Every structure is written in C-alpha cells, then in structure tokens.
Amino acid sequence: VHRQNLALLQRKLRDLHPADLAHIIEVLPQADRLVVWAELEPYHAAQVLLESSRSVRDWLVAETERPRLVALLGQLDPDDLAYISDSVDPEIVAEVYQSLDAREQSLFQSTIAYPDGSVGHLMSPEFVSVRDGRDLGGALEDVRRRGELPPHTEALFVVDARNVLRGALSLKDLLLREPSAQVSAVMSTDVVSFTPQERASDAARAFERYDLIAAPVVDERGKLVGRLTVDVVMDFLRRQAQSEALLRAGLAGEEDYFAPAWTSAKNRWLWLFVNLLTAFLASRVIGLFESTIQDLVALAALMPIVASVGGNTGNQTVALVIRGLALDRLTRANTGHLLKKELFVGLMNGAVWGTVVGLAAAALYGSVPLGLVMAAAILLNLVVAAMVGCAVPLVLQRLGRDPAQGSSVLLTFTTDCMGFFIFLGLARAFLV
Amino acid sequence: VHRQNLALLQRKLRDLHPADLAHIIEVLPQADRLVVWAELEPYHAAQVLLESSRSVRDWLVAETERPRLVALLGQLDPDDLAYISDSVDPEIVAEVYQSLDAREQSLFQSTIAYPDGSVGHLMSPEFVSVRDGRDLGGALEDVRRRGELPPHTEALFVVDARNVLRGALSLKDLLLREPSAQVSAVMSTDVVSFTPQERASDAARAFERYDLIAAPVVDERGKLVGRLTVDVVMDFLRRQAQSEALLRAGLAGEEDYFAPAWTSAKNRWLWLFVNLLTAFLASRVIGLFESTIQDLVALAALMPIVASVGGNTGNQTVALVIRGLALDRLTRANTGHLLKKELFVGLMNGAVWGTVVGLAAAALYGSVPLGLVMAAAILLNLVVAAMVGCAVPLVLQRLGRDPAQGSSVLLTFTTDCMGFFIFLGLARAFLV
C-alpha cells in the first residue's frame, strides 16, 4: 500500500508547476519534505532548487546525496547553475562544470563573474537579435529558421555588424508592417538598456518606471551581451522587500520556518546582543540619576513614556526617509527642506502632546512642576527624535550601507538614552 | 529672459517620459512643482496624474483650475480615469464622464464597479482575442487588419463563439508555425486566468509564481472581460510594499515629502495618541510598584532592559509570522509547529541571555538575588514575547485585518507591561 501511495504521489507531483512544487516543499515540515524531494525527477528537482528560498535551498542541497545532486544540477541552464552555485559545495559545482560544453562553460563564467545584486548576475544569455541591414521579411525568415523564441520576448534586439545594439524591433511591428520595410526604419531607437555592472536595484526601478518586459544588456562598447527580463526583476524585488522587512526586525535573512529551533535561536543572537548592549547603556543613564529617583519615585513610572514617544515618532521619520531614499525621492537638494520640516513637525507634536501628557501627569501626581518637566522633556525628545531620525538613514546611506539595516536600533538607542537623560536631568534641576 | 527660460523648460519637458515627469514633480518643493505643472501639455499632465503617488496627485488636482482639470482628465483612457477618480471632485468626474462616448462610459462603469484591491479595479479593457475556429493565417489577417496590438501582448486570447476563453495563442507560435495550422490545435489551454472579484494580491502572487506577462480576466461564466498586465501588477506590489512599511511605522499612508508641516503633523496624530496611551498604561504598571522601587532603586534602572529585550525579540517573531502569512507559507496545518518552535527559541534565548544579563546585574549591584530575579524576568518575558508575537498577527489575520497594521504596537505594549510586571513583581516577592 505504501508503495502505491508513493506512485500516486509521484504522478501528482509530475503534473505540478515547479514554482508550486517549491512552495509545497517550503510549507512542509522537514521530514515530509524529504519524502517529496526524493520523489522528484532530476529536472523538476533542479527547478525547485532554483525557485525555493535561500534557506530551504541550502537545506535541500545538504540533504541530497552527491551523485543525485550532480545529476540534477546538470539539468540547469549554465546561468541558473551560476545563480545558485553559492549554495553548493564548490567541488560539486566544479564536477558539474566539467560536464558542460565550451559554450556553456563560458556562459557560466560570465554570470558568476558579476556579484550578487548586479545586472550581470541576473541577466540571461537567451535573446534573439537581428541585423539592422535586413528587411522585415528577412528578419522573420531568421526567426522562423531559429524555430524558437525565449519567453518574454516582446521585441527582437537590432544590432549592427559589430554586434553593437542599435534598437529594438517589436514582434508587433514584425507581424503588422510590410515585409519589405527595412528593420532600421521600423525599429525603435529609444531603447532602455543596462550594463552588467549596473546595480540590479537601479535596473528594477527602471523596469517599474518604464513598464519594461525585457531589456538588452550591453558591455562598455555597446555590444549586446545579454537580456534582463521582468520575471527575474520581480523575483529580485520580492527577495529585496522580504530581506528588508526581516533586516529591520534584526533577522539575519530569510529563516526556514522548519529549521530546528537551535539554528533559529542562533540566527537571532547578534541582534539580541546588540539590543541588550544598547538597553544596558540606556540603563546606565538611569543609574546616573538613582538618587533623584529615590527622592521622587514617580519619575521611575513616567520616564518610559518620554523614551517611548521619542522612539516611536523617530521611527516614523526613519521610515519616511528610508522610503524616500529607496524611491530616489530624496536628493541632496531637498534633504535640507525635509530636515527643516521634520524638525518643525517634531516641535509641533511636542508642543501639543507634551501639553496633554504634562497635564495628565500633573493631575495624576498632583504636582504642576512635575507636569511642566514632563511636557518639556517630551518636547525636547521629539526634537531629538526628528533630527536623529533624519540623520541616521542619511548617514548610513552616505557611508555606503543599507539605510534599512540598523537605523531603527540606532534611533531607539538615542531616543531612549536622551529621553531618560533629558527627563531625569530636568527633574534633578527643577524638582528635587 | 524669464519667458525664454519657460520656453526652454517647456521644450525639455516635452521630451521626457511621463514617469520621469512624475518623478521630477515628486521631488520638487511645492512652489517649483506648480511652475513645471503649469507648463505641461494636457496629455502629459494627465499621464503624470496617473503615475504620481496618491498624496502628490491629490495635491496637484487641488491646485488645478477646473477647466484645465476637465481638459486633461478627458485625455485619459476610461479605465485610467476610473482608477484616479477617487482623487477628483465627483462633479468634475461627472462632467468628464458626460463627454465620453457610450462604449467609453461603459468601460468607466465596469472599472469603477470593482473595489480598490480587486483584479477588476486593475484590469484593462485592451486585449486582442481570436476565434478558436480559425487557422493561424486567418488569425494573422485579423491582427493585421486591426493594425495595433496593446503593449505587453505576448499572446492572443482564444475564445469560442460565445466569447468564452478557450486558450492562448502566443505571438511566437503565430510567427513560427504553419499558417494553415488550426488555432485550436496550436493554442495552449493551460492558461492562468482571473476573475474581476479576485483579490489583486492573490493575482500578484500568481504573476510572480508563474512569471506571467499578461493574463485574461473572465467573468463567472468564463467569458473574456479584460486583461491584467505585469506592469500594473508591479505597480500594485510596489504600492503595497510601500504602504506596508509605512503602516508598520504608524503612518497613515504615503506622505508628500513637501506637504506643509502642519498636514504631516496631523497625519501622525492617531499613532502618537495610541502610543501615548499604551505608554501611559505601561507606566501605571510601574506605578503599582512605586514602594518596591523606593526600597530598591536599582530596579528603576534595570526594568527597561527586561521590557526592551522582550519587545525586540517579540518583533522578530512578528516579522517572521507576517512574512509567512504574506507568502502563504503559514497554513492552519503548520501554525502549531511554528508556535512550538518559537516558544522553544524563546526559552533557549531566555536561558542564555537571561544568564548573561543576570550575571552582569549581580556584578554591577553586588547582589546575587537581584541577578537571579533579572535572569528569571528576562526568561519569562521572552516566552511571553514568543507567544504574543505569534498570536497577534495570526489573530489580526483571522479577524480579517491586515496583520502588518498594529501588530508591533500591540506586541510592544504587551511585552512592556508584562516585562515591568514580571520583573517588579518578582522583585517585590523575593528582594524587598
């Protein structure tokens, strides 16, 4: 019966799209995953490796016997092999590489030569080009002789005799225009192209802005070397959004939901450590004022409010600035404007909400001076939060770092320390 | 001279892509924006409205005289007009609507009938269909006679006599196969299609998973009613990612970077208010233990550490769960597994880091019991954080709300209150 079930499973799996298979594997507990994984044919298994998330891919590779791994990696296109080669033991990659023919080896090399996050790393060698000297009828002949068009081909790239990109000929024009028309007369010359060295995130922005489906990649002399397609770009954007959200929460990267708890715990240690360190430093700021708190214990209850309001409003500013940087909306020219505005917003909110909280504190503890100190501390900490909230992502960006990573920690650390310091300092000066 | 400059500006603007114009307008301070905006021709201005962010679009509409607004809205396709009609005074929309012909009016109506976030709201009426009874030569004739193909057409939709979707015929096959072949024999029948009622986010996931460029939209009887294209889907995903990041920071939505400070301040009030309220409640928890703090003032300095570590690790769990829900990786079947795992991770991290912090506290204040209380409080608060971090997004999701919105506030509120309560409660029981 068990064998019958397996046969049924195998038949069902064969009909599924590789992306669906990858998804099924992601959501299965690790033991069940291995059952499904073992039943996949090499071609399907290779596609699943390509489609699954980094953490799950690494795990699958580690769980697969070397001969099977070599066999299934051999099923991949050379650029796809290069794409996932980081997850595989270099020796095994070398073994697969040996089995490729010379053209495939050179494709593998040219993909692996470009770093992760560059256009070169994402581009594909699959494209169709036509010479600019031909007429449409001749171009159509060429395409027919080729017998195949790669997916996402909305246009053919037009090149001259030296393979330099001259324009793009849409399939639409190839279909609709007179066969006797010249390619060079019909083609559009207004083509967005990229170089392999360009950052993938810049290319992705161009894809979004100009609604591109596929774009040519050219080297520094303008020669056509590859093609970047929208599916790869969407994939890149999704992975980027994902890692951004996780980075902001201090997770090293995608975490396999079914990794052992021990692995997950260690994955989060760096952040926990940083967090403990900053919390400890903020605690030392409070320690400086222990005698003041001893004299007026209400301060202990009120001080977290000052810190928390600063942290939250500062994080709003951080989110706005990061978004502005990501969308290229913040330039050198308008940063000063934003800074002034956030400062003003901080002042206004500080005045309004400082008053509200000050009144509440004064009423609760029956002390007008305490209310005044509370209001002043909130006002000042919101100004600090606005300044630091603008400065931190901008400085990180200027240092060449990802502004999303660490902005929040640095901001909260500052607003905590400053919040405690301002509030307790004012209290020591005016209240006790 | 001024007039010459304007003429030069106008010439420069005319050559730009509408998406670039929209970007320029976004990054200009409001006064400069108006200068550029006034120089745009109606067609370009209409495209800029379509491409710009919601907040900037609303502002541009408000700044434009009614006759000009009517003229430029008249330049839009009916589905695009419906798309941005939320930003425009209904009277003006009605005036533009009157100037449309009957077919355009019905297109407008059918787009506006579907809510924001549905496939129907995003679909376009521009598509090319061919009848399944024809041969390829006949289909090609039809397309030629039409003389135009909408952008992102990689395939023609194949319908039967009752306009029911039967399959898709790729342009590739139209180009490469014999003209005498039957459309129904060549077409692919394995077509991913959507209904107008479906959620746009589900459709977007399918676009990502199956690398789609364009997909047919059919009504409940399978009749072809529209087309969804990848550029619209990417746009939708970008807006969604954006609003998610801002929502998580408690910003009502996209904020115009150059809106007056007063508008921005009010935009953030709800969140500030919620934040103050929760901080105030947490402060009351501390208030319960004022006499304990009076007896041992070190508690005041140490208590924020317990709260902060809980908040940060809890937010890691929240980020993982939200991500898992968004990617459809968390199902009813594996939620229990995740809960158990996060609990275990919390216990482990609590044991390891609770010990570290406990030792530090004991050394700093020269009191072993204080260190023990600190360690126990951190362990317990990390367990609370793990449980609440899993529960909050799952419950919000089950209540039909966006799990990204508010998860963080609720979590931090709980870990703050519980952190203070556990730590000060243990201290009262065992230390003073």
3-state class of A88 per DSSP?
Answer: coil
Q: Chain A to chain B, count of Cβ pairs less than 8 Å apart?
A: 312
Please tell me the distance from the alpha carbon of residue B276 to that of residue B266, in angstroms, as a whole number: 15
Please state the length of chain A: 432
ipTM of the predicted structure?
Answer: 0.79
Instruction: Give A65's contacts (C-beta < 8 A, 6+ positions apart).
Output: none
Confidence of residue B254 (pLDDT cuts 50, 70, 90): low
Confidence of residue A252 (pLDDT cuts 50, 70, 90): low
Q: Tell me if B305 sits within 8 A of B357, measured CB to CB.
A: yes
Across the interface, do B261 and A344 touch by the CB < 8 Å criterion?
Answer: yes
Average pLDDT of the residues in A52-56: 85
Across the interface, do B283 and A304 touch by the CB < 8 Å criterion?
Answer: yes
Taking a contact as any Cβ pair under 8 Å apart, which residues of chain B between 179 and 218 contact chain A?
207-211, 213
DSSP secondary structure string for all residues of A203-249: HHHHHHHHT-SEEEEE-TTSBEEEEEEHHHHHHHHHHHHHHHHHHHT
Taking a contact as any Cβ pair under 8 Å apart, which residues of chain B between 122 and 161 contact chain A?
140, 143-144, 147-149, 151-154
For residue range B384-418, what is the model confidence (pLDDT) as tens digits?
Answer: 999 999 999 999 888 887 787 778 888 999 999 99
Q: B162 or B4, which is more confident?
A: B162
Cα torsion angle, B396, B397, B402, B407, sign: positive
> Which amino acid is residue B274, in one-letter code?
V
What is the model's pLDDT at position A371?
A: 96
Which residues partner with A223 through β-bridges? A164
Q: Which fold has domain B129-230?
A: CBS-domain (3.10.580)
What is the model's pLDDT at position B329?
A: 80
- Summarize chain A as % helix, strand, coil (round to 5): 70, 10, 25
| Homologous superfamily of the A129-237 domain (CATH) | CBS-domain (3.10.580.10)
**Rounded to a whole number, what is the distance in Å from the CA of B187 to chain A's nearest CA?**
15
Ranges assigned E (strand) in B155-275: 155-159, 165-170, 214-218, 224-229
Per the prediction, chain A carries an average pLDDT of 88
Domain boundaries defined on chain B? 2-113, 129-230, 268-430
Confidence of residue B253 (pLDDT cuts 50, 70, 90): low
Residues in chain B closer than 8 A to A230 (CB atoms): 213, 230, 234
- Which residue has 């009502």 as its token pair? B252
Chain A contact present for B349, CB below 8 A: yes
Confidence of residue A254 (pLDDT cuts 50, 70, 90): low
What is the model's pLDDT at position B302?
A: 95
Confidence of residue B1 (pLDDT cuts 50, 70, 90): low
Nearest CB to B309; choose among A213, A279, A416: A279
The CA-atom distances, in angstroms, between B257 and each of A376, A385, B31, B179, B325 are 28, 18, 13, 56, 31
DSSP classification of residue B199: B
Average pLDDT of the residues in A28-47: 87
Nearest CB to A300; choose among B249, B262, B300: B300
DSSP classification of residue B124: B
- Least Cα distance to A155 among B167, B18, B189, B213 occurs for B213
- Least Cα distance to A33 among A243, A256, A239 occurs for A256
Confidence of residue B84 (pLDDT cuts 50, 70, 90): confident
Across the interface, do A304 and B279 touch by the CB < 8 Å criterion?
Answer: yes
What is the model's pLDDT at position A220?
A: 92
The CA-atom distances, in angstroms, between A335 and each of A87, A328, B87 are 41, 12, 28
Average pLDDT of the residues in A378-382: 96
Chain A contact present for B77, CB below 8 A: no
For residue range A179-235, what is the model confidence (pLDDT) as tens digits?
Answer: 899 999 999 998 999 999 999 989 998 998 888 999 999 999 999 999 999 999 988
Q: Tell me if B54 sits within 8 A of B99, measured CB to CB.
A: no
The CA-atom distances, in angstroms, between A281 and each of A7, A67, A276, A304 are 61, 53, 9, 15
Average pLDDT of the residues in B211-228: 94
Please tell me the distance from the alpha carbon of residue A156 to that of residue A278, in angstroms, as a whole number: 56
What is the model's pLDDT at position A253?
A: 61
Across the interface, do B272 and A348 touch by the CB < 8 Å criterion?
Answer: no
Please tell me the distance from the alpha carbon of residue A392 to that of residue B176, in angstroms, as a whole number: 56
- Summarize chain B as % helix, strand, coil (round to 5): 70, 10, 25
- Least Cα distance to A94 among A107, A103, A105 occurs for A105
What is the model's pLDDT at position A13?
A: 81
Token pair in block for residue B136: 């390829």
- Least Cα distance to A236 among A208, A207, A201 occurs for A201
Across the interface, do B329 and A353 touch by the CB < 8 Å criterion?
Answer: no
Across the interface, do B329 and A261 touch by the CB < 8 Å criterion?
Answer: no
Residue A125 confidence (pLDDT) above 90: no
Please write down the HEC assignment for all residues of A93-157: HHHHHHCCCHHHHHHHHHHHCCCCCEHHHHCECCCCEEECCCEHHHHHHHHHHHCCCCCCCCEEE
Phi, psi of B64 (to 5 degrees): -105, 135
For residue range A159-184, what is the model confidence (pLDDT) as tens digits?
Answer: 999 999 999 999 888 888 888 999 99
Q: What is the CATH number of domain B2-113?
A: 1.25.60.10
Across the interface, do B265 and A302 touch by the CB < 8 Å criterion?
Answer: no
Residues in chain B closer than 8 A to A264 (CB atoms): 341, 345
Instruction: Give A289's contacts (C-beta < 8 A, 6+ positions apart).
Output: A299, A420, A424, A425, A427, A428
Which of B17-26, B263-272, B345-354, B415-424 shows the lowest mean pLDDT across its residues?
A: B263-272
Taking a contact as any Cβ pair under 8 Å apart, which residues of chain A between 355 and 374 contact chain B?
356-357, 360
Among A177, A234, A306, A370, most B C-beta atoms within 10 A, so best to mutate, is A234
Nearest CB to A293; choose among B17, B297, B344: B297
Across the interface, do B349 and A269 touch by the CB < 8 Å criterion?
Answer: yes
Question: What are the contacts of B189-196 at 24+ separation with CB within 8 A?
Answer: B191/B165, B191/B167, B191/B215, B191/B216, B193/B165, B193/B217, B193/B218, B194/B119, B194/B123, B194/B218, B194/B228, B195/B119, B195/B219, B195/B220, B196/B114, B196/B118, B196/B119, B196/B120, B196/B123, B196/B225, B196/B226
Taking a contact as any Cβ pair under 8 Å apart, which residues of chain B between 258 and 287 contact chain A?
258, 261-262, 264-265, 268-269, 271-273, 275-276, 278-280, 282-284, 286-287
Q: What is the CATH number of domain B268-430?
A: 1.10.357.20
Residues in chain B closer than 8 A to A261 (CB atoms): 341, 344-345, 348
Which of A93-97, A100-104, A403-407 shows the lowest mean pLDDT across its residues?
A: A403-407
Provide the terminal-to-terminal Cα distance of chain A, rounded to the nearest Å: 82
**Rounded to a whole number, what is the distance in Å from the CA of B253 to chain A's nearest CA?**
10
CA B251 vs. chain centroid, Å, equals: 13
Taking a contact as any Cβ pair under 8 Å apart, which residues of chain A between 229 and 248 contact chain B?
230-231, 234-235, 237-238, 241-242, 244-246, 248
Q: How many CA atoms lie within 13 A of B139 on its CB side?
A: 31
Residues in chain B closer than 8 A to A329 (CB atoms): 23, 26-27, 257
What is the model's pLDDT at position B272?
A: 84
The CA-atom distances, in angstroms, between B32 and each of A21, A374, B24, B38, B39 are 53, 41, 10, 10, 11
Across the interface, do A211 and B337 touch by the CB < 8 Å criterion?
Answer: no
Residues in chain A closer than 8 A to B298 (CB atoms): 287, 290
